[in-house]
Amino acid sequence: MAIAVEAQITEMPVMQVHLESHQPLGDVLDQIKLEYISGDRPPENRIIKENLSNLEIQENDDNDSTFAQCFTLHGLPASLPYAWITNIFGLCSLIQILINPVPKDESITRMARFKKTSFMKIPKR
């Protein structure tokens, strides 16, 4: 995207984030005032070989394959700063975040269990 910086036009890269959901997202994206295009799909990479910590991939219609390192985030802290994940975006060419919603009944059970166990861990004075 071309922007003016100190009276000079400079080309700045624009980060693209592709979202896919089984739920309609338009209203949510409108409420938080994000600009978006509906129906655009990101380019897909073909996985040639998959290992525990990396993938050999073929990008788009390229004949050459490249390697991608894989990480799984788990055990995240209970509190994180807003938009913490954006610090990682500049280091990666592709980030996939898969979110599986917890059904309402199961979430109530989990919260009740969490509440019960968190009170049991409070040390007595």
Please check whether residue 89 lies inside any domain of the structure: yes
* Tokens (6 digits) for 25: 């997202």
Please check whether residue 125 lies inside any domain of the structure: no
Please check whether residue 20 lies inside any domain of the structure: yes
Please check whether residue 17 lies inside any domain of the structure: yes
Q: Is the pTM of this model over 0.85?
A: no
Please check whether residue 40 lies inside any domain of the structure: yes
- Phi/psi of residue 19, nearest 5 degrees: -115, 140
Please check whether residue 111 lies inside any domain of the structure: yes
User: What's the number of domains the chain is made of?
Assistant: 1
Distance CA 114, CA 120 (A): 10
Residue 7 belongs to domain spanning: 2-120
Counting other chains too, the contacts that 41-46 makes at CB distance below 8 Å and 24 or more residues apart are: 42/16, 42/18, 42/94, 45/94
Please check whether residue 53 lies inside any domain of the structure: yes
pLDDT digits (tens, 9 = 90+) for 1-51: 788 888 888 887 777 777 777 778 888 889 988 888 887 676 677 888 888
